[in-house]
Amino acid sequence: DGGITQSPKYLFRKEGQNVTLSCEQNLNHDAMYWYRQDPGQGLRLIYYSQIVNDFQKGDIAEGYSVSREKKESFPLTVTSAQKNPTAFYLCASSILEAIGELFFGEGSRLTVL
Amino acid sequence: GENVEQHPSTLSVQEGDSAVIKCTYSDSASNYFPWYKQELGKRPQLIIDIRSNVGEKKDQRIAVTLNKTAKHFSLHITETQPEDSAVYFCAANAADMRFGAGTRLTVKP
């Protein structure tokens, strides 16, 4: 089955710890995105990547880091510098840049204890 | 970057009535405007989209209109059903995809 897979689905972290969320797609999409979803605030863009080894900051990149070493993979690290990391994180991919449908993963819910 | 505003934030209608959600965008370079539906606990899924060379698009009970001059676009749902209850997001692309804050639609039976 083609699709986009996020893991883990649920994650708990202690304050001060970094955590990495995985996002893998087998759709052969060029572009990949990370969004954060908080209640009442919609989807806010953290980072996006249009090609391998290149990525751009979105609106709320502070406290996050990404890499794009392979076309299929776009992991997101939530660092200890992110002041309020508890949220629902969605990864998405699209064919070319942002001119087509975004396909979303099922999301990862991070809770900081 | 692109800024997308969406109204209303909540909308409650009676089954069978119509629902309209409106969005505005800021970047005149945006040329693709999708609408996503997100049910509780699930991922957003595309329900309809429109490109800048088209003014209106319809798919059964759902339609989208685009006014490029005014930089606004709207989602119209006719003959609403309880299963239409969800959060709806508009989006616009320039170099990336930016979303509105969402509209929680409730359809009362």
CB pairs under 8 A between A and B: 62
Residue predicted with more confidence, A82 or A62: A62
Q: Model confidence at A100, in pLDDT bands (50, 70, 90)?
A: confident
B67-106 pLDDT, tens per residue?
A: 999 999 999 999 999 999 999 999 998 778 899 999 999 9
Taking an 8 Å Cβ-Cβ cutoff, which residues of chain A contact chain B? 33, 35, 40-45, 48, 56, 58-59, 90, 92, 94, 97-102, 104-107
B32–A contact, CB cutoff 8 A: yes
Task: Count, in order, helices (H) and strands (E) of chain B.
Answer: 0, 11
- Report the DSSP beta bridge partners of residue A76: A21, A66
| Chain A residues with beta carbon closer than 8 angstroms to that of B21 | none
A52-71 pLDDT, tens per residue?
A: 999 999 999 999 999 999 99
Residues whose CB falls within 8 Å of the CB of residue A1, separated by 6 or more in sequence, listed in order: none
Q: Model confidence at A111, in pLDDT bands (50, 70, 90)?
A: very high
What is the model's pLDDT at position A105?
A: 96
Judged against a pLDDT cut of 70, whether residue A97 lies above it is answered with no
- Tell me if A94 and B44 make a contact (CB, 8 A cut-off): no
What is the model's pLDDT at position A68?
A: 98
CA distance B66 to chain A (A): 16
Written as one letter, the residue type at A26 is N
Quote the longest CA-to-CA distance of chain B: 41
B14-72 pLDDT, tens per residue?
A: 999 999 999 999 999 899 999 999 998 889 999 999 998 889 999 999 999 999 999 99
- Write out the two tokens for B7: 């109204």
Residue B102 near residue B12 (C-beta atoms within 8 A) = no
Written as one letter, the residue type at B95 is A
What is the model's pLDDT at position A2?
A: 66
What is the model's pLDDT at position A1?
A: 56
Query: Which candidate, A76, A73, A24, A21, places its Cα nearest to that of A46?
Result: A76
Residues whose CB falls within 8 Å of the CB of residue B5, separated by 6 or more in sequence, listed in order: B23, B24, B25, B100, B101
Residue B38 near residue B48 (C-beta atoms within 8 A) = no
Give, as one character, the DSSP assignment of residue B84.
Answer: G
Residue of A97, A101, A104 lying closest to B43 (CB–CB): A104
Positive/negative CA dihedral, A86, A92, A98, A102: negative
Give, as one character, the DSSP assignment of residue A73.
Answer: B
Using CA coordinates, name the residue in chain A closest to B2: A59
Residue of A40, A58, A106 lying closest to B96 (CB–CB): A58
- Tell me if B96 and A98 make a contact (CB, 8 A cut-off): yes
Between CA B89 and CA B100 the distance in angstroms is 6
What is the model's pLDDT at position B1?
A: 76
- Write out the two tokens for A75: 């992991």
Residue of A42, A58, A90 lying closest to B100 (CB–CB): A42
Between CA B50 and CA A77 the distance in angstroms is 34
